[in-house]
Amino acid sequence: MQKSKLTLKTKDALTGGAFMLPWLIGLLVFTMYPFFYSIWLSLCQVEFTPNGIATTFVGFKWYAEAFTADANFIKNMTSTMESIIFSTPMIVVAAVILALLLNRSLRGRAFFRVLYFFPVIIISGPVMSKLMGNDATTIVHPDQYAIYQVLEGLPELISTPLLYIFDNIVLILWYSGVQMLIILAGLQKIGDPIYEAASIDGAGAWEKFWKITLPYLRPMILVSAAYTIVDLSGMTTTKMHTHIVNNMMNTIKPYSYSSALSWLYALAVLIVLGIMFLILMERRPRRGK
Amino acid sequence: MASKNLLLAKSKAHGKNIAINAVFYFLLISIGFVYLYPLLYMIITSLMTTEDLINPTIMWVPTRLDLSNFEMVWSVLEYPKSLVISIVFSVICAGLQTISCALMGYALARFPVPLKRLWMVLLIVVFIIPSDVLTIPRYVLFNSYNLIGSPLAMILPAALGQGLKSSIFVLIFMQSFASCPKSFDEAAQLDGAGRLRVFAKIALPMAVPVIVLCVIFSLVGYWNETAQTSMLVGSDFGTLPLQLQSFDSLFKNEFPTSFGDEANRLNERYQFSATLLVIAPLVIFYLFMQKQFVKGIESAGITGE
């Protein structure tokens, strides 16, 4: 009895393995192997030979070179990371605001939801670069208004994000579609009873938002922020992407240098993700009381 | 007296409600305008003639209707051909990706697979690894098999569950299969159905909404993909977004104008009409499938963990 049960279980596991097989092969061939090969390439000098490519180990040479010999790298990296770091909170906040607006039972709500999600469908690298390159995404030209001068006069810490919003309002909204729906689904899971209970205790709309809605939304906000960072960093319109692609066939250091660049970029994105998790993660002790 | 007071309070509350609703509508509509602004701008600019574009007094209303630019762009993009390539390519990739992700999701949801934790972690890792990191080694890999320039370079990873955002699809499938009652599977098994048959005849039909969700998102994803496609298959592969990417040079090839001839010079009018033509199929697709797109995300339950 014991034995047959065991074999049944193993058989089940094996069948499960068979279902997993395509993914597993794919993981090994198209993800794991490239993953490690890319690390290896970034540490090597690559040369083209008639039999394919030859690699000689050079250590962290390319990584060092990126920082010391490539002025464009630092410039592109900073501007890409800056835009990710600025955009992510704004996109998530925009998604929360949009979700709150759409959560009210109004006539035509479905229409607006469809409208606000629409850009997600058409965003692609070439479309965005055509739009941005031809000025279609700047809805206001703030430099024409007096407020721009006022903003510019403020300390940089305040003025930079504000100006960034003005310049990128369309993009912030366009990139927030998926996040908006994630948060909206979260909002709809919060039941009415808890709001009613809070009302009875005398909480106003403002308090309800900060004390009930936001804490409930925390996991969805976390997911949205992670999605935003991954999504933004993968855009083909980022300067880092262009920089990596342009260096791929670099005649002196083909493959290797751009591999190193891509790892530096990946590392930077990971650090941003990590910081975001630290900021948004639930703080256990406080919750445990 | 008391009832009158109550009535008054009620109508006051009602009035307040209307006012709040008005504010909400105002906000919704103004945000909607910001959303649509680039499209409106694009449509109007593409309808303007070159003289209108140069004329600073004309902001929104073109002086006369001239659609010749759409014809020119149509031929520059080789529209019918590119459209077919785009459709075939993204349908194949999306179909295969959905199948492989469904299999993996089913395995994780239904079987006592060893190391389940590890696979879950790997799914997340795969999602986070930027595609830039993988593109170069994939290029080298496919190059050694002479697959660079063949759409297989994109199709194979999709067929083996390593396509665009595959991890998310696997997780969605997993959740959906896990939430189906196991007793259906068991009943079918008692009737003598094999595991694959149970999957195809019982599990999949119950997961139709999720399948639709994965197919449409995957379709849109592959339709819009250019980073890897242009690298691995080549920028002359000819999907619509790739044609748009190289639009400037394609246009100059087809209409090599002398500098004096303003009418044919490449400007926003052509850029935008090309962009509009490229997104048009997506817009139509979205108009038909909007419910599935929007409802899908809400019901998919990607919202937790």
Domain ranges across chain A: 2-42, 62-123+175-288
Q: What is the pLDDT of residues A147-181, one digit of tens each?
A: 677 777 777 777 777 777 877 888 889 999 889 98
- What is the pLDDT of chain A when averaged over all its residues? 85
Spell out which residues of chain B touch residue A281, defining contact as CB-CB under 8 Å: none
> Cα(A111)–Cα(A210) distance, rounded to whole angstroms?
28
CB contact under 8 Å between A139 and B37, yes or no, is yes
CB contact under 8 Å between B272 and A130, yes or no, is yes
> Cα(B79)–Cα(B74) distance, rounded to whole angstroms?
5
Q: Could you tell me if A26 lies within 8 Å of chain B, comparing CB atoms?
A: yes
Q: Could you tell me if A158 lies within 8 Å of chain B, comparing CB atoms?
A: no
Q: How many CB pairs under 8 A join A and B?
A: 259
CA nearest to A111 within chain B: B290
Query: pLDDT band for position B304 (50/70/90)?
Result: very low
**Least CB–CB distance from B35: residue in A173, A259, A273:** A173
- Burial (CB < 10 A; 0-12, 13-18, 19+), residue B239, is buried
CA nearest to B119 within chain A: A24
Q: What is the pLDDT of residues B23-78, one digit of tens each?
A: 889 999 989 988 888 888 888 888 887 777 777 676 677 777 778 888 888 888 88
Phi, psi of A105 (to 5 degrees): -80, 95
Q: What is the pLDDT of residues B74-100, one digit of tens each?
A: 888 889 999 999 999 999 999 999 999
ipTM: 0.84
A204: left (phi over 0), alpha (psi -120 to 50) or beta: beta
CATH class belonging to A62-123+175-288? mainly alpha
Candidates B128, B132, B290: best to mutate against A (most CBs of A within 10 A) is: B132
Candidates A10, A11, A15, A19: best to mutate against B (most CBs of B within 10 A) is: A19
Chain B nearest CA to A153, separation (Å): 27
Q: Could you tell me if A33 lies within 8 Å of chain B, comparing CB atoms?
A: yes
Q: What is the CA angle B119-B124-B127, rounded to 5? A: 125
Q: For residues B114 and A148, which has the higher predicted lDDT (pLDDT)?
A: B114
Q: What is the pLDDT of residues A5-40, one digit of tens each?
A: 567 778 888 888 889 999 999 999 999 999 999 999
| B132 within 8 A of A266, measured Cβ to Cβ | yes
Mean pLDDT for the stretch of residues A260-278: 93
Full DSSP string of A107-156: TTHHHHHHHHHHHHHH--HHHHHHHHHTT-S----GGGSHHHHHHHHS-H
| B77 to A92, A117, A127: CA distances (angstroms) | 36, 27, 14
CB contact under 8 Å between B303 and A123, yes or no, is no
> Cα(B138)–Cα(B232) distance, rounded to whole angstroms?
8
> Cα(A19)–Cα(B156) distance, rounded to whole angstroms?
17
| B42 within 8 A of A131, measured Cβ to Cβ | yes
Q: Could you tell me if A27 lies within 8 Å of chain B, comparing CB atoms?
A: yes
Mean pLDDT for the stretch of residues B111-125: 89
Rounded to the nearest 10 degrees, what angle do helices A256-280 and A214-233 cross at?
A: 170
